[in-house]
Chain A
Amino acid sequence: MLPVIFVVAGLFLLVFVRAVTGYVRTGDRLHAATILVFLSVGTLYFLQVARVFVVLPEWISVAALVLLLGQPVFTLRLVALVRPLSPYVTGSWIAAWIAVGGAVVLTYPLTDAMAVVFVGYFVLGEAVAAAFLAGEVRRRAGAPRVRLSAAAIATGLFALGMFLAGAGRYAGDAAQSFAVASRLVALGSAVGYLVAFVPPRFLRQQWSARTAYLLMTRLLEQSTGTPEETWARFARLGTEAVDADLAVVVSLPAAGRPEALVVAGTTRDELEPAELAMVLEYADSPGPTRVGERRHGHFVTRVPLTLHSGQAGVLVLLAVRPSLFTVDDITLLGDLGRQAAVIAERSQLTTELRGVVEQLRAANHAKSDFVAAMSHELRTPLNAIIGFSELMRDEEPTDDDRRQVPTEWIENVYSSGRHLLGLINDVLDLAKVEAGRIDLRPEPLTVDAAVHEAAAPLRPLVDAKGLTLSVGVPELTVRADRLRLRQMITNLLSNAIKFTPEGGTITISAHDGDGAVHLSVADTGPGIAEADQRRIFEEFQQVGDAGSRASGTGLGLALTSRLAQAHGGGVEVESTLGAGSTFTLNLPTAPVPDPTGPATHGGILIIEDDPAAASLLRTYLQAAGYQTIITANGGDGLTAARNTAPDVILLDVLLPGLDGWGVLRQLKEDPVLRHIPVVMVSVVEERELGLSLGAVDFFVKPVDRQALLGWLDRRGLIPLPPGARTRVLVVDSDPTGRTAVEGALADQGLIVFTATSGAEALRLARDTRFDLILSELIGPDLDGFSLIAALNEDKRTRDVPVVILADELSAEDKARLGDRILGVLPRAGLAPTDLRAWLDRSMLSGVKQ
C-alpha cells in the first residue's frame, strides 16, 4: 500500500506543479480553476504521505476532508468557465458543501451513514459537472472538442474514484485494492484535467500541427480573388480554429482610424454598431494580448497581423462562451495570418496584372482597329485619285500631247487629294495631342472674333445649302491657342453644315459659368441616337447617312474633343433623334481685361522690387520701343503674368516674400504661364540653377543695355509700340496680290514698300531699315530662297524678319527655310483685320509658325 501512496502523491504533486506553472505562464483563469480542482484531492493524498512520518492533529484531517468536499464546487466553477451555467446550480452545491462539511466536522470520525452521505454528495456533484461538460462537447469542434471530452471523462473518473474510496470501507479484505484503485482512478482524472485545461507542450504542438495543416490546406485551396476575399477566408478559418463565433480583420493605418476589413462568423457576417465600436477600440488598444478578455458580453482575443499592403492589422476573435484556446492558438493564427497576407498580396497583384493585361489588350485592339480604319480611310480617296488619273492617262492624246478629259474627273482627283491631306493632318494632330506633344500657346481670345474667323471660310458652304447661320455670341474671352480654337470651331461648324438639311438653321451661341466659356453650335439636322452619342467622339466612328459620311475624315470630333481637353476643357453633345444636335465646346475663361490696367497684349513684365533697377530696365526697354509692366513682388508678378500674357518676363531673384526662384517655379508649374520665357536677373550669377529651373537666360546686374536688347532681338521680339510707323516691304510679282496686301497693310497704318523682283527687294532692303519683309517664295523674277540668302549676307538686312506669302509650304520648303522666316501668311482670302491680328501676334510673341 505504501508505495502506491507515495507514487500517487508524487504524481499528483507533478500535475499540481504543472498546473501552477501553466497558470503563471498564461494567467489564464481556466488554469486557476483547474489548480483548485487538484488542490483539494492533492492535499488529501499529501496528508496521507505525511501521516506515514508524523502524527497529525485531528483538525488537520477534518480540514482536509472539508476541503475535499469543495471539489464538486470547484469542478462546477470550472464548468461555468467553459459554458453558461445557472448560478443556482453552483449555489446549491455550495450550500450542500456547507451542510455536508458541517456534518463532517461535528460527527468526525466518519460514521458509516456519514460516509454514504459524503460519497453520495461527491458522486452526484461530479456526475452533474461531467454531464454539463459532455453536453458542451457536442457544441465544439477540433481541439476544444478533444479537450472538453477529456475534461468530462476526468470529472466522471473523479466521481468513480470517490465511489471506489467509499466502497472500500465495506470491502473487507479487498479494502486495500479499492484504496489503490480509487487512487489510480483519481490520478487518471488529474491527467484528464491536465490534458483538458493545461495541455502539455507535446499535445499542444500536435494539435497545433494538425490544425495548422488543415487550416493551411483550406486557406491555399483558393488563392484567387480579391485580398478581401482572402482575409474573409482567413477570418472564417480563424473562428473554426479557436471555436469563436465571429472574427473581424481590422486594419490599423499608421495615420487614420482603425477600420474593419472583413467580418466572418459562424452564424452571422456582420457586427452590431456597438460591437463594431468595441472591436475597433479593442483592436487599437495598447497592452499585451490575453486570451479571452471579457468585453461587452463577449470573450475577445486579438491576434496581431501584417496585412497584404504591409499595413498593421489585427484579427479580433469574439466568442459568446469562454474560449478554450491558448496562447499557442494565437501564435498559430499569427502564422496563418502571414500566409494569408502573402496570398492576399499575390491575389492583389494578380488582379492588378489582370487589369494591366486587359488594358494592354484593349489598347492593342484599339491600335489594330485604328490601323484597319486608317487603311480604309486612306484607300478610299486613293482609289478615286488613282482611278481617275488612270482614266485620264488612258484618254487618247491630241497632237500636241494634251488630253481632253471631263472637268469632273479633275475635280474628283483634286478633292480626293484635299480629303487625303485633311485626313493626314487630322491624324497627325490627333497623334500629337495624344502624345501630349501639341504645342499650345494659350492667350486670351475673344470668342466672337474666333467664331467669325472660323465661320468666314465656311460661308460658301452655308450659302450653297441655303442654311441660316445665326451667331449670337456675347463679349467673352477664353484662354486658348488661336489656331486650335479656330480649328475646333471650324470642325463643329462644318459638322453642323454637313448634317443640316437644306434650308435648315445653325445657331452659334455662348455663355460663361464655372470658370468656363460654353460655346454651342446647334443644328436642325437629323440628331444623334443616344447610343451613338459617345461613339461619335471616337476615331473613324461616323454615324448618319452615307452622303454626309463621305465628306468627313471621321476624325474631326475626336480631334476637337482631344484639343478641347488639352486646353483644360471638353466637348459635349446633346441631341434627340429628329430634333437636331447641339455640340458645346467648353474652354477655360480668361479674365476680361481691365481697361484701366496695363495693356492686355504683349510687352515685357518686369518683376523687380528695387525701384531704381526697375526704372532703369523700363527706360532701356521703352526707349527701344517695348511696352513694359512693372510689379514689385512675386505675387503681383504672377497676377500680372496671368492678366497680361507678357511675351517675356524679367524676374529678379531677391524679392520680398516669395523670391524669384519661387515665382519661377510657380510660373513653370502653371499650364498656361509655363510657355512664357523667363529671364532671371540677379546680382549673383546663378545661371545653371536658373536654367535648370526653367529660365531661358540669366542676366547679372547691372544689366547691360545692349546685351538685353540684343537678346530680345535675337528672340524675334520686335518692339511694336502703339502708333509706331512700322515699315513693311511687300515682295510680290503678281500685281493683283501685291495691291491687295499693300492695301490691307496700309489700312493698318503701316508704311508699305513694294518690290516685284528679288533684286529690287534687296536694293530697297539695303537702303531702308524694314521692320518686316513679306515675300512670295517663287515668282517669275524672284527666288525666295536666294533672296533670303542674300538678306542673310548683309548685316544691314540680316535681322529683318521675313514672312512668306503662301497658302501652304511643303515640308521640304519649310525645312529649307528653317528658323529664318517668322511664318507663313496665306495670301488669298485675307481680311485686313486678320492680317493685322496675325502680324500683331507673330511679331510680338515671336511665333514661328
Chain B
Amino acid sequence: MTRILLVEDNELNRSLVRAILSRTREPVLAGAALSEAGSLAEARALLAGAAFDLVLLDMHLPDGSGLALAQELQSTGAERPAIVALTAAVLPAEQAATLNAGCDAFLAKPYTSGQLIEAIGGLLN
C-alpha cells in the first residue's frame, strides 16, 4: 500500500489534495493512504513513526521552511521517501533552492489535479 504524507498548513489546500487523491483513477494511487501534517513538527513526528513512500511538502509552514525538512530527509540516506515540493514561491531561484534541497519534483501553486497526479505518479512508478 502506498503511503503518502501531506505537509501543508492551509486546511483548504489539505482538503483539496485529499479530494484529488480520492478521485484519481491513477492505478498507483489506488488505495493509497494519506496522512496529514500542518507543521514541520507534526511532519517530523509522523515521519519518525512510519515509513512513507512520498511526501507532499509545502514550503511555507508556520514553524519554518519545508526546505529544512527536505534536507533532513535527504541526509537520512537512500531509504528516504520521494518529495514533491508544493509552493507558492515561483521565482526560478526559489525553485532551484527547492530542488537543491533534495526535492524530487516541484509544483507551483496554484496547481491542477492533473499536475499533482502526474508528479506523484511519475515518482511512485
Q: Which residues of A contact B (CB under 8 A)?
A: 372, 375-388, 390-391, 394, 406, 408-409, 412, 415-416, 542-547, 549-550
B 24-43 contacts with A by CB, 8 A: 38-39
A-B pairs, 3 with minimum CB distance: A379-B88, A546-B9, A376-B88
Among the listed B11, B15, B20, B91, which residue makes an inter-chain contact with A547, where contact means beta carbons less than 8 Å apart? Answer: B11
Stretch binding the partner chain, chosen from B46-54, B72-80, B97-105, B106-114: B106-114
Whether A390 contacts B113 in the complex (CB less than 8 A), given A408-B15, A546-B61, comes out as yes
Residues of B within 8 A of A412 (CB): 12, 15-16
Q: Provide the bound-state CA to CA distance between A406 and B13, in Å.
A: 16
Residues of B within 8 A of A391 (CB): 16, 19-20, 23, 113
Among A377, A380, A409, A547, residue most surrounded by chain B Cβ atoms (within 10 Å): A380
In contact, A550 and B10 (Cβ under 8 angstroms): yes
Q: Could you tell me the distance in whole angstroms from the C-beta of A626 to the nearest C-beta in chain B?
A: 53
Q: Could you tell me the distance in whole angstroms from the C-beta of B23 to the nearest C-beta in chain A?
A: 6
Residues of B within 8 A of A394 (CB): 23, 113
Residues of B within 8 A of A544 (CB): 62
In contact, A387 and B9 (Cβ under 8 angstroms): no
Among A387, A415, A545, residue most surrounded by chain B Cβ atoms (within 10 Å): A387
B90 at interface, CB cutoff 8 A: yes
Q: Could you tell me the distance in whole angstroms from the C-beta of A617 to the nearest C-beta in chain B?
A: 61
Q: Provide the bound-state CA to CA distance between A33 and B10, in Å.
A: 95
Residues of A within 8 A of B13 (CB): 380, 383-384, 387
B89 at interface, CB cutoff 8 A: yes
Task: Name A387's closest neighbour in chain B (CB-CB).
Answer: B16
In contact, B10 and A387 (Cβ under 8 angstroms): no
Q: Could you tell me the distance in whole angstroms from the C-beta of A756 to the nearest C-beta in chain B?
A: 40
In contact, A381 and B12 (Cβ under 8 angstroms): yes
Q: Provide the bound-state CA to CA distance between A746 and B90, in Å.
A: 57
Besides A406-B19, A543-B62, 8 new A-B residue pairs in contact (Cβ under 8 A), listed by A number: A376-B88, A379-B108, A391-B113, A412-B16, A416-B12, A546-B39, A546-B61, A550-B11
In contact, A387 and B111 (Cβ under 8 angstroms): yes
Among the listed B9, B15, B110, which residue makes an inter-chain contact with A549, where contact means beta carbons less than 8 Å apart? Answer: B9
Residues of B within 8 A of A409 (CB): 19
In contact, A549 and B12 (Cβ under 8 angstroms): no
| A-B CB pair tally, cutoff 8 Å | 83
Residues of A within 8 A of B10 (CB): 380, 384, 546, 550
In contact, B23 and A549 (Cβ under 8 angstroms): no
Q: Provide the bound-state CA to CA distance between A545 and B11, in Å.
A: 12
Residues of B within 8 A of A378 (CB): 88
Among B15, B16, B108, B112, residue most surrounded by chain A Cβ atoms (within 10 Å): B16
Residues of A within 8 A of B60 (CB): 376
In contact, A550 and B89 (Cβ under 8 angstroms): no
- 11 A-B residue pairs with CB within 8 Å: A372-B89, A380-B88, A383-B109, A384-B10, A387-B111, A390-B113, A391-B19, A544-B62, A546-B38, A550-B10, A550-B12
Q: Which residues of B contact A (CB under 8 A)?
A: 9-13, 15-16, 19-20, 23, 38-39, 60-62, 88-91, 108-113
Residues of B within 8 A of A384 (CB): 10, 12-13, 15-16
In contact, A547 and B38 (Cβ under 8 angstroms): yes
Q: Provide the bound-state CA to CA distance between A385 and B12, in Å.
A: 9
Q: Could you tell me the distance in whole angstroms from the C-beta of A218 to the nearest C-beta in chain B?
A: 48
Residues of B within 8 A of A377 (CB): 88
Q: Provide the bound-state CA to CA distance between A744 and B99, in Å.
A: 62
In contact, A550 and B9 (Cβ under 8 angstroms): yes
Q: Could you tell me the distance in whole angstroms from the C-beta of A147 to the nearest C-beta in chain B?
A: 69
Residues of A within 8 A of B89 (CB): 372, 375-376
Whether A383 contacts B23 in the complex (CB less than 8 A), given A412-B15, A412-B16, comes out as no
Residues of A within 8 A of B91 (CB): 372
Residues of B within 8 A of A379 (CB): 88, 90, 108-110
Q: Could you tell me the distance in whole angstroms from the C-beta of B64 to the nearest C-beta in chain A?
A: 12
In contact, A380 and B109 (Cβ under 8 angstroms): yes
In contact, A386 and B90 (Cβ under 8 angstroms): no
Among B12, B91, B110, B111, residue most surrounded by chain A Cβ atoms (within 10 Å): B12
Q: Provide the bound-state CA to CA distance between A387 and B112, in Å.
A: 6
Q: Could you tell me the distance in whole angstroms from the C-beta of B38 to the nearest C-beta in chain A?
A: 4
Q: Provide the bound-state CA to CA distance between A214 and B93, in Å.
A: 54
Q: Provide the bound-state CA to CA distance between A384 and B17, in Å.
A: 9
Q: Provide the bound-state CA to CA distance between A710 and B19, in Å.
A: 63
Task: Name A393's closest neighbour in chain B (CB-CB).
Answer: B113
Q: Could you tell me the distance in whole angstroms from the C-beta of A526 to the nearest C-beta in chain B?
A: 13
Q: Could you tell me the distance in whole angstroms from the C-beta of A412 to the nearest C-beta in chain B?
A: 5
Whether A383 contacts B111 in the complex (CB less than 8 A), given A372-B89, A391-B23, A549-B62, comes out as yes
Residues of A within 8 A of B23 (CB): 391, 394
Task: Name B60's closest neighbour in chain A (CB-CB).
Answer: A376
Task: Name B58's closest neighbour in chain A (CB-CB).
Answer: A380
Task: Name B61's closest neighbour in chain A (CB-CB).
Answer: A546
Q: Could you tell me the distance in whole angstroms from the C-beta of B74 to the nearest C-beta in chain A?
A: 24
Residues of B within 8 A of A386 (CB): 110, 112
Residues of A within 8 A of B112 (CB): 386-387, 390
Residues of A within 8 A of B16 (CB): 383-384, 387-388, 391, 412
Q: Provide the bound-state CA to CA distance between A390 and B16, in Å.
A: 10
Whether A388 contacts B61 in the complex (CB less than 8 A), given A375-B88, A376-B88, A380-B10, comes out as no
Among the listed B9, B12, B62, B90, which residue makes an inter-chain contact with A415, where contact means beta carbons less than 8 Å apart? Answer: B12
Residues of B within 8 A of A546 (CB): 9-10, 38-39, 61-62
Task: Name B63's closest neighbour in chain A (CB-CB).
Answer: A546
Q: Could you tell me the distance in whole angstroms from the C-beta of B89 to the nearest C-beta in chain A?
A: 7
Residues of A within 8 A of B12 (CB): 381, 384, 412, 415-416, 550
Residues of A within 8 A of B11 (CB): 547, 550
Task: Name B111's closest neighbour in chain A (CB-CB).
Answer: A383
Residues of B within 8 A of A543 (CB): 62
Task: Name B17's closest neighbour in chain A (CB-CB).
Answer: A387
Whether A383 contacts B62 in the complex (CB less than 8 A), given A391-B23, A412-B16, A546-B39, comes out as no
Task: Name B91's closest neighbour in chain A (CB-CB).
Answer: A372
Q: Could you tell me the distance in whole angstroms from the C-beta of B25 to the nearest C-beta in chain A?
A: 11
Q: Provide the bound-state CA to CA distance between A132 and B15, in Å.
A: 100
Q: Provide the bound-state CA to CA distance between A388 and B62, in Å.
A: 24
Q: Could you tell me the distance in whole angstroms from the C-beta of B112 to the nearest C-beta in chain A?
A: 6
Q: Could you tell me the distance in whole angstroms from the C-beta of B32 to the nearest C-beta in chain A?
A: 17
Residues of A within 8 A of B111 (CB): 383, 387
Q: Could you tell me the distance in whole angstroms from the C-beta of A394 to the nearest C-beta in chain B?
A: 7
